[in-house]
Amino acid sequence: MTNQKEGMEQRVKKALDQLRPHLQADGGDVELVEITEEGVVKVRLLGACMGCPMRQITLTQGITRFIKKAVPEVKEIEAV
């Protein structure tokens, strides 16, 4: 892993750690699966987030916006 990718991964993890309490308050969680060479962050929604009808809004309006603000070089966030 390159230093640039390692730094990006650390910043994404830090952003997720800051976001996590909000998800956990509603019984959900998120985990980082991988960051591709193209800058795509793949996350897995856990707990209550898995079956929640609002999960797509949580992903796009919450997680994506938060991560891209913290790590602008991220191109896209995908739930896997």
* Domain 3-79: assigned CATH number: 3.30.300.130
Residue of 42, 50, 45 whose CA lies nearest to 20: 45
pLDDT at 10: 95
**Euclidean distance between CA atoms 10 and 74, whole angstroms:** 13
| pLDDT 10s digits, 28-68 | 999 999 999 999 999 999 998 888 888 888 888 889 999 99
Extract the tokens encoding 62.
């919450």
pTM value? 0.86
**Euclidean distance between CA atoms 76 and 24, whole angstroms:** 23
Q: Which residues partner with 32 through β-bridges? A: 43
Does residue 1 surpass a pLDDT of 60?
no
- Strand pairing of 40-47 and 28-35? antiparallel
Identify whether the C-beta of residue 63 lies closer than 8 Å to the C-beta of residue 29.
no
